[in-house]
Amino acid sequence: MNAHDPVPPLVRGLVDPDGRLVEADQRLEDLNARAGGAIGEPMAVPQLARLARLAQRLGILVSRGVVAADGADDLDLWVRAEPGAAGVSLAITGWRGRPAWTAPDASIEADHASLATDADWRWETDAALRLTFLTPDVGTRHGFDADSLLGQPLTALFVLGEDESGGFPILGGLAMRERFEDQPARLRATGEPLRLAAAPRSNMRGEFVGFIGAAAVDRPQAARTIDDAGGAFAARLDTALRAPLGRIIANADSINARSDGPLRQDYVDYAADIASAARHLIGLVDDLVDLQAIERPDFQVAIETIDLADLARRAAGLLAVRAADAKVRIDKPALGEALPARGEFRRVLQILVNLIGNAVRYSPEGGVIWVRAERDGAAAAIIVADQGKGIAEADQARIFEKFERVDPREPGGSGLGLYIARRLARAMDGEITLDSAPGHGARFVLTLPAA
């Protein structure tokens, strides 16, 4: 059989806890050999190696589509990676070959670059409209699990809507293999309104192989108009930095994963440092854009009925991988527990990701973070408590100010997260309070009007 068999069989393999391919059906063994590996050596197919490491780290079954290079072609694979005592068992289906995508010419590249002008984040698909790329950290910022969506249909991420004329611009773009703009959509996970645009990409034979797309939050026209110098600067900064930083992260992660073959360990470590620094800069850009928005005199939030307990579970889920890497456990509200409140879904999720993320950052290895949902009279509250080193009373007011941190020498954020979080809470008639003492951890409480 070859990569173009019409009904490919299930292919199995086993990657041991050290990342070595120790068992493989012939098709997987041959693919691994073409990538420079062998049985008993580290898995040489980078996409499969990364998936095995992810399943091993999380301790759960991970199932998703991947695209792997095989000579001049790309392979579409659907992989189930299940950890066990002997390592991670791989079960691969699909195994469809297709011509590899090659770099577009300069005019097409310019068309793709122009998409980023008004975009908040980027996405890419293959020819079957399956997602192959999402801007790093976009899931954390917008409240969905980005990793789980790779390999899924575009409609698993977006609910598409009609435009003003009753049509769907994406259908015209797909039919004509051309650029489309102003496709109304909503994030399926949160309902956040968006506008989509995309340009087609082709392989060296001119065949359509997918879209490079952009998503922009569909704000009211008045909110889109930035008429102050600070706001204009933040918007230009966001546009200028987000796309190149995304490419830096993707390339550094690829180097860190040794995607192109063996590398010295110090180079691998350098790549991890580069990716971490670029993610920090993207976080800073996000904070500056948020800062510009919340300090406008006409800033408003969309008040709706939300479930605070559900949002706490979502925020904890978005930070699960980071917590696992830090060897910290998040004890979140039980499934089925509910706490109705009034606020804006996306902004409350943003606040909780900030509070829980800070708790993960400052918790010791083996520590536990408790996230609790409570009703207190007319208020609904989420409590985030950690076992970190705590915050002295003299510093507790200061950390809610702009660019303030307890110890600037420690690795961490920009010093804007808590300032933005409290401003957002107060815009929803809520509050964030802190109870802490040195050596006794910190306890942050977000309160909002109960529904």
Residues 183 and 240 occupy one common structural domain: no
In the predicted structure, residue 222 carries a pLDDT above the cut 60: no
Condensed to tens digits (0 to 9), the pLDDT of residues 414-440 reads 677 888 899 899 999 999 999 988 888
HSE, side-chain direction, 13 A CA sphere, residue 387: 12
Q: In which band, very low, low, confident or very high, does the pLDDT at 106 lie, cut at 50, 70 and 90? A: very low
Question: What are φ and ψ of residue 381, in 5° steps?
Answer: -135, 145
Report the distance separating Cα 98 and Cα 321, nearest Å. 32
- Residue 118 pLDDT: 56
Instruction: Give DSSP secondary structure letters for 238-303.
Output: HHHHHHHHHHHHHHHHHHHTTTTS---HHHHHHHHHHHHHHHHHHHHHHHHHHHHHHTSTT-----
Contact 19/53 with Cβ under 8 angstroms?
Answer: yes
Q: In which band, very low, low, confident or very high, does the pLDDT at 70 lie, cut at 50, 70 and 90? A: confident
Enclosing domain of residue 351: 304-449
- Residue 2 pLDDT: 45
- Mean pLDDT check: name the lowest of 33-37, 101-105, 126-130, 330-334: 101-105
For the chain, the domain total comes to 4
Residues 86 and 161 occupy one common structural domain: no
- Residue 8 pLDDT: 57
Residues 269 and 148 occupy one common structural domain: no
In the predicted structure, residue 311 carries a pLDDT above the cut 70: yes
Secondary structure of residue 238 in the 3-state scheme: helix
Instruction: Give DSSP secondary structure letters for 8-22.
Output: PPPEEEEE-TTSBEE
Residues 313 and 290 occupy one common structural domain: no
- Residue 138 pLDDT: 82
- Alpha-carbon dihedral 339, 342, 344, 345, rounded to 10 degrees: 20
Q: In which band, very low, low, confident or very high, does the pLDDT at 105 lie, cut at 50, 70 and 90? A: very low
Residues 85 and 113 occupy one common structural domain: no
- Residue 69 pLDDT: 80
Report the distance separating Cα 139 and Cα 157, nearest Å. 11
Please give the share of the chain, as a percent, with pLDDT higher than 90. 27
Give kind and range of the element (H or E) at residue 232.
Answer: helix 229-256
Pick from 261, 246, 210, 247: which is nearest to 101 by CA?
210
Residues 374 and 437 occupy one common structural domain: yes
Question: What are φ and ψ of residue 157, in 5° steps?
Answer: -95, -40
Residues 202 and 269 occupy one common structural domain: no
Identify whether 6 is part of a domain.
Answer: no
Contact 149/131 with Cβ under 8 angstroms?
Answer: yes
Q: In which band, very low, low, confident or very high, does the pLDDT at 239 lie, cut at 50, 70 and 90? A: low
Strands lying side by side in the sheet with 62-70: 21-24, 11-15, 87-99, 73-84, 62-70
Query: What angle, rounded to 10 degrees, do the helices at 345-362 and 308-318 form?
Result: 50
Question: What is the separation, in whole angstroms, between the first and last Cα of the chain?
Answer: 61
Residues 389 and 430 occupy one common structural domain: yes
Report the distance separating Cα 191 and Cα 96, nearest Å. 34
Residues 400 and 328 occupy one common structural domain: yes
Contact 27/11 with Cβ under 8 angstroms?
Answer: yes
Residues 43 and 148 occupy one common structural domain: no
- Residue 166 pLDDT: 79
- Residue 235 pLDDT: 54
Residues 315 and 427 occupy one common structural domain: yes
Q: Which of 99, 133, 167 is the last residue of a domain?
A: 99
Identify whether 224 is part of a domain.
Answer: no
In the predicted structure, residue 337 carries a pLDDT above the cut 90: yes
Residues 413 and 352 occupy one common structural domain: yes
Identify whether 337 is part of a domain.
Answer: yes
- Residue 447 pLDDT: 95
- Mean pLDDT check: name the lowest of 42-51, 73-82, 106-115: 106-115
Q: H helices of 363-430, where?
A: 393-396, 417-427
CATH of the domain at 164: 3.30.450.20
Pick from 168, 177, 12, 162: which is nearest to 79 by CA?
12
Identify whether 414 is part of a domain.
Answer: yes
How much of the chain is in helix, strand and coil states, percent to nearest 5?
A: 40, 30, 35
Identify whether 319 is part of a domain.
Answer: yes
In the predicted structure, residue 221 carries a pLDDT above the cut 50: no
Q: In which band, very low, low, confident or very high, does the pLDDT at 347 lie, cut at 50, 70 and 90? A: confident
Q: In which band, very low, low, confident or very high, does the pLDDT at 224 lie, cut at 50, 70 and 90? A: very low
Identify whether 3 is part of a domain.
Answer: no
Q: Specify the length of the chain in residues.
A: 451
Condensed to tens digits (0 to 9), the pLDDT of residues 19-51 reads 999 999 999 999 999 888 899 999 999 889 988
In the predicted structure, residue 223 carries a pLDDT above the cut 50: no
Pick from 227, 210, 213, 139: which is nearest to 182 by CA?
213
Report the distance separating Cα 315 and Cα 312, nearest Å. 5
Report the distance separating Cα 13 and Cα 28, nearest Å. 7
Q: In which band, very low, low, confident or very high, does the pLDDT at 64 lie, cut at 50, 70 and 90? A: confident
Condensed to tens digits (0 to 9), the pLDDT of residues 247-281 reads 787 777 778 777 667 778 877 777 777 877 777 67
Condensed to tens digits (0 to 9), the pLDDT of residues 156-214 reads 999 988 888 777 889 888 878 888 888 999 998 888 899 999 988 877 667 788 898 98
Identify whether 223 is part of a domain.
Answer: no
202 backbone φψ class: left, alpha, beta (φ>0; ψ -120 to 50): beta
- Mean pLDDT check: name the lowest of 123-127, 147-151, 309-313, 367-371: 147-151
In the predicted structure, residue 142 carries a pLDDT above the cut 50: yes
Question: What are φ and ψ of residue 50, in 5° steps?
Answer: -65, -40
Query: Is the full-model pTM beyond 0.85?
Result: no
Angle in degrees, CA 256, 361, 57, rounded to 5: 45
CATH of the domain at 433: 3.30.565.10
Identify whether 299 is part of a domain.
Answer: no
Query: Average per-residue pLDDT in the chain?
Result: 81
- Residue 242 pLDDT: 65
Task: Return the DSSP state at 450.
Answer: B
Secondary structure of residue 382 in the 3-state scheme: strand
- Residue 137 pLDDT: 73
